[in-house]
């Protein structure tokens, strides 16, 4: 495990400098390095052989969490430890803290970033799944000065694939102010504490004034196609009041239809059972948080 | 070959490094600070190479040496100074190491952990240790030592 030859290491101070650096190389020959907790593994194993590493650690404009009138923007280079410990991420955004406080280990959370995780989009990862359930928007900038915002539903294309082009940089993940009475939650099960999810479930629900669910999104981690919605279950949560029977019906529908695989971590039936059991716990918590 | 400026354990170094040199290999092979260990095959799973980067515990096998340019590092050699730190003393007193290979990484991780968690529960300590593998002790004596060090550090203020 040792990197192949790297010709150039650059540490730009601004987004404009970073984009100028990446476009000096052919597509794929230069890579952005965020926290490096996944990318460095790929570089050391030579799955990635970048000629140029563009390290984003020096770009202050990519860092930080801002909450303004309820809207949330998290800079791409904001680390897990900063999200997990942020005092304003509750209710609608609480799933972000649920996930980031259990990613990897302390050392990983001190370096790993939300932007690195969503752009890497590993097949079994917590952050893409939570961003998908919470319907985050990925804000991208390109070297020609253009910017675009891509909804989570359109951004995550499958394991290690996203809608980001090689010449685009992720600026931030953002959300408008959530409707009142919105709550979210996430939980995973892995082989050891805080390991990658064998299955992870993220749920967000919005309740009307009478406490009835008016909108729901469910996303799963740990299936072979990567982070994905559980739309069959969403439809069953809407109209309910978060009763255990309704939640079980929703998660049961997702589990029954899930294209679960068997591997050394768990067999397909066990994965489906995890969807049901984690799903009940997570959805119940999301409803509780929506009620405030 | 790039030149980097780093401060390690209070000493400033100006060194030529290859772009692809890992930070852990820079510390061990170029600065001869061999207390930082490599316990896995550089997959970032064992935690033995944990150091402090600007005061925070990170795995030095998951960084390039050039990334440390301009930063301040502390390795196990810089943890205690002339005498053992309370954490190191507690590890000695509680038989918290057998072969000792994982110990530098655990000490670097737990010394930062105790700064933020002066009175941790056993569960918190165990969760804090997730990134460090120990194949000898079964962790029981490690947890005991961290708890004792926390008490000593609280009493010392």
The 10s digit of each residue's pLDDT in A35-45 is: 999 999 999 99
- Of B28, B27, B21, the C-alpha closest to B8 is B27
Comparison of pLDDT for A261 and B81, the residue scoring more? A261
Q: What's domain A182-291's superfamily in CATH?
A: CO dehydrogenase flavoprotein, C-terminal domain (3.30.390.50)
Chain A residues with CB under 8 Å of B69 CB are 11
Report how far residue A205's alpha carbon sits from residue A202's, in angstroms, rounded to the nearest whole number.
10
Reported pTM: 0.97
Instruction: Determine the pLDDT at residue A1.
Output: 78
Please determine, for residue A98, whether its predicted confidence score (pLDDT) is greater than 90: yes
Report how far residue A251's alpha carbon sits from residue A287's, in angstroms, rounded to the nearest whole number.
14
Instruction: Determine the pLDDT at residue B108.
Output: 98
What residues pair up with A32 in beta bridges, in sequence order? A54
The label of the residue with tokens 């809608």 reads A163
3-state secondary structure of A148: strand
Domain A8-55 has what CATH class? Answer: alpha beta
Of B64, B126, B131, the CB nearest to A9: B64
Instruction: Determine the pLDDT at residue A208.
Output: 98
CATH classification of the domain holding B57: 3.10.20.30
Please determine, for residue B113, whether its predicted confidence score (pLDDT) is greater than 90: yes
Percent of chain A residues topping a pLDDT of 90: 99
- Angle between helix B103-116 and B140-156 (nearest 10): 40
Instruction: Determine the pLDDT at residue B13.
Output: 98
Q: Average pLDDT, whole number, for chain A?
A: 97
- What 8-state DSSP symbol labels residue A92? G
For Cα atoms A232, A191, A157, give the angle at the middle one, nearest 5 degrees.
Answer: 45
- Note the ipTM here: 0.96
3-state secondary structure of A111: helix
- Of A254, A131, A117, the C-alpha closest to A199 is A254
Q: Nearest chain B residue to A11 by CA: give it.
A: B67
How many inter-chain contacts (A to B, CB under 8 Å) are there? 83
Of B19, B44, B130, the CB nearest to A8: B19
On whether both B13 and B69 belong to a single domain, the answer is yes
Chain A residues with CB under 8 Å of B59 CB are 107-108, 111
CA atoms in the 13 A half-sphere facing the CB of A134:
34
pLDDT category of residue B82 using cuts at 50, 70 and 90: confident
Percent of chain B residues topping a pLDDT of 70: 100
On whether both B63 and B93 belong to a single domain, the answer is no
Q: B58, A111: Cβ pair inside 8 Å? A: yes
Chain A residues with CB under 8 Å of B20 CB are 2-6
Q: Which residues of B touch A (CB under 8 A)?
A: 2, 19-20, 22, 41-44, 47, 50, 53, 56-59, 61-64, 66-67, 69, 109, 112-113, 126-128, 130-132
Question: Could you tell me which residues come within 8 angstroms of residue A196 by beta carbon, excluding any fewer than 6 positions away?
Answer: A122, A124, A125, A190
pLDDT category of residue B157 using cuts at 50, 70 and 90: confident
Q: What is the 3-state secondary structure (H, E, C) of chain B?
A: CCEEEEEECCEEEEEECCCCCEHHHHHHHHCCCCCCCCCCCCCCCCCCCEEEECCEEEEHHHCEHHHHCCCEEECHHHCCCCCCCHHHHHHHHCCCCCCCCCHHHHHHHHHHHHHHCCCCCHHHHHHHCCCCCCCCCCCHHHHHHHHHHHHHHHHHC
Please determine, for residue B81, whether its predicted confidence score (pLDDT) is greater than 90: no
Instruction: Determine the pLDDT at residue A48.
Output: 96
Q: How far from A244 is each of A50, A237, A240, B61, CA to CA, in Å?
A: 50, 10, 10, 46
Instruction: Determine the pLDDT at residue B153.
Output: 96
Asked if the A60-175 domain carries CATH number 3.30.465.10, the reply is yes
What residues pair up with A270 in beta bridges, in sequence order? none
- Of A54, A63, A5, A9, the C-alpha closest to A32 is A54
Q: Does residue A74 contact residue A173 with C-beta atoms inside 8 Å?
A: yes
Please determine, for residue A27, whether its predicted confidence score (pLDDT) is greater than 90: no
Domain boundary residue among B19, B45, B78?
Answer: B78
Please determine, for residue A19, whether its predicted confidence score (pLDDT) is greater than 90: yes
pLDDT category of residue A66 using cuts at 50, 70 and 90: very high
Summarize pLDDT for B92-107 with one digit per residue, the tens: 999 999 999 999 999 9
Domain ranges of chain A: 8-55, 60-175, 182-291
Q: Average pLDDT, whole number, for chain B?
A: 96
Report how far residue A260's alpha carbon sits from residue B77's, in angstroms, rounded to the nearest whole number.
48
Number of domains in chain B: 2
Mean pLDDT throughout A210-229? 97
Mean pLDDT throughout A20-32? 94
Question: Could you tell me which residues come within 8 angstroms of residue B49 by beta carbon, excluding any fewer than 6 positions away?
Answer: B24, B36, B37, B38, B39, B59, B60, B61, B105
Report how far residue A2's alpha carbon sits from residue A46's, in angstroms, rounded to the nearest whole number.
8
- Of A19, A169, A189, A172, the C-alpha closest to A102 is A189
Q: Does residue A83 contact residue A96 with C-beta atoms inside 8 Å?
A: yes
Domain boundary residue among B50, B78, B106?
Answer: B78
Instruction: Determine the pLDDT at residue B35.
Output: 97
For Cα atoms A205, A210, A214, give the angle at the middle one, nearest 5 degrees.
Answer: 30
On whether both B63 and B124 belong to a single domain, the answer is no
Chain A residues with CB under 8 Å of B146 CB are none
- Segments forming the whole domain that contains residue B118: 86-156
pLDDT category of residue A2 using cuts at 50, 70 and 90: very high
Domain boundary residue among B78, B108, B138?
Answer: B78
Instruction: Determine the pLDDT at residue A9.
Output: 98
**B77 phi-psi bin (left φ>0, alpha ψ -120 to 50, beta other):** alpha
Instruction: Determine the pLDDT at residue A270.
Output: 98
Please determine, for residue A114, whether its predicted confidence score (pLDDT) is greater than 90: yes
Q: Does residue B16 contact residue B61 with C-beta atoms inside 8 Å?
A: no
The label of the residue with tokens 């944990």 reads B50
On whether both B71 and B90 belong to a single domain, the answer is no
Mean pLDDT throughout A272-287? 98
Summarize pLDDT for A154-194 with one digit per residue, the tens: 999 999 999 999 999 999 999 999 999 999 999 999 999 99
Summarize pLDDT for A119-166 with one digit per residue, the tens: 999 999 999 999 999 999 999 999 999 999 999 999 999 999 999 999
């Amino acid at each position: 495990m040792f990197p192949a030859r790297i010709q150039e290491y650059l540490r730009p101070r601004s987004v404009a400098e970073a984009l100028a650096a990446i476009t000096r190389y052919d597509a794929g020959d230069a890579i952005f390095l965020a926290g490096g907790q996944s990318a460095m593994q790929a570089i050391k194993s030579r799955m990635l052989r970048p000629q140029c590493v563009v390290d984003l650690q020096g770009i202050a404009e990519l860092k930080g969490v801002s909450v303004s009138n309820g809207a949330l923007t998290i800079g791409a280079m904001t680390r897990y430890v900063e999200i997990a410990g942020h005092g304003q991420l509750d209710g609608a955004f609480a799933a972000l803290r649920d996930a980031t406080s259990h990613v990897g280990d302390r050392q990983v959370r001190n370096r790993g970033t939300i932007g690195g995780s969503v752009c890497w989009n590993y097949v079994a990862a917590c952050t893409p799944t939570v961003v998908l359930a919470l319907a985050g928007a990925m804000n991208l900038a390109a070297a020609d000065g253009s910017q675009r915002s891509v909804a989570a539903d359109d951004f995550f294309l499958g394991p290690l694939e996203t809608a980001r082009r090689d010449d685009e940089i992720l600026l931030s993940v953002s959300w408008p102010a959530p409707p009142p009475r919105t709550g979210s939650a996430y939980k995973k099960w892995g082989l050891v504490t805080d390991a990658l999810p064998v299955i992870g479930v993220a749920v967000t629900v919005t309740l009307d004034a009478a406490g009835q669910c008016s909108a729901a999104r469910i996303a799963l981690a740990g299936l072979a196609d990567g982070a994905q919605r559980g739309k069959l279950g969403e439809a069953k949560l809407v109209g309910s009041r978060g009763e255990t029977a309704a939640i079980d019906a929703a998660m049961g529908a997702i589990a029954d239809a899930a294209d679960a695989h068997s591997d050394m971590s768990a067999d397909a039936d066990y994965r489906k059972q995890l969807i049901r059991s984690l799903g009940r716990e997570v959805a119940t918590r999301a409803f509780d948080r929506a009620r405030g | 070959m790039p030149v980097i400026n780093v401060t390690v354990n209070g000493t400033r170094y100006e060194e030529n490094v290859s772009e692809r040199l890992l930070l852990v290999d820079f510390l061990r092979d170029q600065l001869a600070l061999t207390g930082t260990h490599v316990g896995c095959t550089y997959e970032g799973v064992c935690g033995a190479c944990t150091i402090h980067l600007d005061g925070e515990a990170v795995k030095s096998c998951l960084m390039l040496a050039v990334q440390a340019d301009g930063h301040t590092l502390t390795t196990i050699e810089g943890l205690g100074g002339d005498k053992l730190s309370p954490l190191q003393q507690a590890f000695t007193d509680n038989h918290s190491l057998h072969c000792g290979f994982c110990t530098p990484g655990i000490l670097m991780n737990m010394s930062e952990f105790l700064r933020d968690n002066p009175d941790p529960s056993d569960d918190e300590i165990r969760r804090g240790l997730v990134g460090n593998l120990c194949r000898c002790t079964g962790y029981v004596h490690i947890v005991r030592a961290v708890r004792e060090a926390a008490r000593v550090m609280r009493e010392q203020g």
